[in-house]
Chains A and B, each alone.
Chain A
Amino acid sequence: GDSVTQMEGPVTLSEEAFLTINCTYTATGYPSLFWYVQYPGEGLQLLLKATKADDKGSNKGFEATYRKETTSFHLEKGSVQVSDSAVYFCALSLNTDKLIFGTGTRLQVFP
């Protein structure tokens, strides 16, 4: 069935380091892809999205490119801050009725 696989966390980085969180998907059609972020004690916030192959979503310095050939949507940021510490969820949607989430990756950034 359709699914999303994320790298296991936690990912631990120093401030200003480069971030990559891997996300790959399995889908029978052509999904839309999303990254959501959950800060401690809060709900999920949409970070960025892409709806077709080669689209790049970007927001707050984060980027992810929809790679159909590798079925991936890796999240990147050039220089992380302590305030980026959160749990990041990759998700896909095929028919817009339902979102399928990965298990989440916790990012910890230290000064």
Chain B
Amino acid sequence: DAGITQSPRHKVTETGTPVTLRCHQTENHRYMYWYRQDPGHGLRLIHYSYGVKDTDKGEVSDGYSVSRSKTEDFLLTLESATSSQTSVYFCAIRQQGAVKTDTQYFGPGTRLTVL
């Protein structure tokens, strides 16, 4: 357990509505990540953050935005949800160690259904 919580854990919404998912960490890690998990694709990186107000795009960033105004919180926003964004969303932190020993730890996930 790396002190990561996600909220909400489950959400059902309608196409075209905005949705914000929250990731909260308690251990002051610099790096935070958002992934989505879909059958046949494993986990794919949406966006990540390397510090307050510092973010970058991942592999599947279209349709998503992120914000990080505090070290402990990393928000993922779907400005206008679509059915293709139905997925399970995982937040992760990177625990930094010696060279090449950095490891990512994951939150419990948010299951989002877009009708």
Interface 0/1 of A87-111, CB less than 8 Å to B: 0010001001111011110000000
Interface 0/1 of B34-47, CB less than 8 Å to A: 00000011111100
Taking a contact as CB atoms closer than 8 A, the residue among A34, A36, A96, A104 that contacts B94 in the complex is A96
- Chain A residues contacting B58 (CB-CB under 8 Å) are 98
Given contacts A44-B90, A101-B43, contact A51 B101 (CB under 8 A): yes
- Chain B residues contacting A4 (CB-CB under 8 Å) are 42
Query: Quick check: B45 and A103 within 8 Å, CB to CB?
Result: no
Considering only CB atoms and an 8 Å cut-off, how many residues of chain A contact the other chain?
A: 22
Give the secondary structure class of B's interface.
strand
Query: Quick check: A45 and B106 within 8 Å, CB to CB?
Result: yes
Closest A residue, CB atoms, query B50: A97
Query: Quick check: B43 and A44 within 8 Å, CB to CB?
Result: yes
Query: Quick check: B41 and A99 within 8 Å, CB to CB?
Result: no
Interface 0/1 of B83-113, CB less than 8 Å to A: 0000000101010000011111111110000
A69 on interface, CB distance cutoff 8 Å: no
Query: Quick check: B42 and A101 within 8 Å, CB to CB?
Result: yes
- Chain B residues contacting A104 (CB-CB under 8 Å) are 42
